[in-house]
Amino acid sequence: MPLNTEKPLVPQGPQLIAPAPRRLVYASLVLGYLCILLPWPQGMLWLVPDFTLVVLLYWVIHAPHLAGLGLAMALGLLTDATLGGLMGQHALTYTVTAFLVIHLRRRLENFEVSGRALHLAPIFLGQQALFLILGLVFRLPDADWRYLVAGLSAVLCWIPLARLFDRLTGWTNEMHIEPAAK
Amino acid sequence: MASAPMFSRAIGLPARLALYGLASLALMVVDSRYDAMTAFRTGSVALIHPVQAALARPFEYLGEAGEFFTVHGALLQEKRQLEAERERLATLLQGYLDLQGENARLRAILQLTPPPLVEPMAARITRVLPDPFARKLVIDRGSADGVEAGRPVVDVAGLIGQVTEVYPNSSIITLLTSKDQAAPVQDQRNGLRLIVSGTGSDNLLEVRYLDMHADLKPGDLLTTSGIDGAYPPGIQVARVLSVEQPRQTPFARAICQPVGLIGQHRYVLILKARNNAP
């Protein structure tokens, strides 16, 4: 059996060279969460992305020692409490999403922002679909399938956000090829 | 046991996913089947509400600043219209008071119980919940103001929904146009009793299982009948647009348009039970 490399004690690889400051991770997650609380106009609610998840998925890739399944679950519960849906509905979709991204993490590190976003698109879309299906399974009579679009707008939001965070942490996708040169 | 991992300090990822997934599923079952989460919800909403209100404030100021620059003429015109409307309502109200007195006397003669007294309370819509499953609004009045779950919510024109969740300083309204909402109504023209339900669209309601030969015509006004105990009688609900004759089913279906201006208001009225009700 190999070492438990999913959540190393010490940041490894790119995370060692360009570590994500703990403060930045948590502050950006809080900001993402506050974006959900903003009074969005009623007509466009179905395309407002889930900002918490957008930020979370960046840090799941780039700060795996800080953002993992536990954080995803906690944020999901917070979102559930905020939006007044079924308790655990966001928690489950966030956890599943984070799990998939953790599995893809090593691969994603090799890609530019656009490449990473292309990988994340089906994941964001699947998260919305899972959310809607869970609602149908549990009690809710009427799912508004327009909300699937929120998955796509989440990817569109993720791209500029990832560029910003890449610049803030100094992370590039060539970095881990020659870590000694840095 | 030689193959044991060197640093086995955490359970593996799939196991953790299964654990969290099961916990979430358990929460969802508990939440949908039992009322166990209410206390937790009340607490968390009480914590989140102030943050939300603070975040919404700058946008309100922006909106108000925008309104500040509306043309003066438009305001004057609106003022004149409102004055005319008020005069008209004042004359109507005189007749209404008279009628109410007469009605009370007639009821006393017939020995009927008086209808439940309601008191309207204005509330401001603070937020629309991004819920893909039901149409919900958050308003700024809660149990501290005497709001109770189940109270009807109206606007200037007619019924728009029902209070479904109550928190200390806010409550959640589920609109009548949500798919699982329904209201017992009566045709104003002939007294026919029906149940009108939401369709999930903002400007359509429907009467689902309508008798094939029922006397319902386009243009009929439907008002609450008051027989369910949730909605007081006489609130306008919808106007019939069309009646679809049955094809495969034994029932007809009527499409109606809600009278309340759903999705167009900032303020709504909650019909609260009057405290000193006899």
Q: Kindly report, residue by residue over B247-260, the tens digit of the pLDDT.
A: 888 888 899 998 88
C-alpha B177/C-alpha B246 separation (Å) is: 23
Mark which residues 256-275 of B lie under 8 Å from A by CB.
263
Residues 167-196 of B with CB under 8 A from A: 172, 178-180
Q: How far apart are CA A54 and CA B268, in angstroms?
A: 35
Nearest of B151, B144, B126 to residue B136 by alpha carbon: B126
A59-68, A74-83, B222-231: lowest mean pLDDT where?
Answer: B222-231
Residue ranges of A 92-131 with Cβ closer than 8 A to chain B: 92, 95-96, 99, 102-103, 131
Residue B266 C-alpha, separation from nearest chain A C-alpha, in angstroms: 11
Q: Within an 8 Å CB–CB cutoff, is residue B200 touching chain A?
A: yes
| A86 three-state secondary structure | coil
**A3 in contact with B at a CB cutoff of 8 Å?**
yes
> Which of B7, B13, B133, B140 to substitute to test the interface with A, most A CBs within 10 Å?
B133
Kindly report, residue by residue over A118-132, the tens digit of the pLDDT.
999 999 999 999 999
Q: What is the pLDDT along chain B (278 residues), one digit of tens a residue?
A: 445 555 656 678 889 999 999 999 999 888 888 777 777 888 888 888 888 888 888 888 887 787 777 777 888 888 898 988 888 888 888 888 888 888 888 888 877 766 666 788 888 888 888 888 888 888 888 888 888 888 889 887 888 899 988 888 889 898 888 888 888 999 888 888 999 998 888 888 998 888 888 888 898 899 888 887 778 888 889 999 998 887 888 888 899 998 887 777 778 888 877 654 43
Nearest-Cα residue of chain A relative to residue B200: A142
Query: A105 to chain B, minimum CA–CA distance in Å?
Result: 13
pTM of the model: 0.74
Q: Do B28 and A134 lie within an 8 Å CB cutoff?
A: yes
Contacts of A74 in chain B (CB under 8 A): none
A with B: how many residue pairs have Cβ under 8 Å apart? 141
How far from chain centre, in Å, is Cα B133? 15
Q: Classify residue B229 as left (phi > 0), alpha (psi -120 to 50) or beta.
A: left
pLDDT level of residue A28 (50, 70, 90 thresholds): very high
CB–CB contact B26 A88 (8 Å): yes
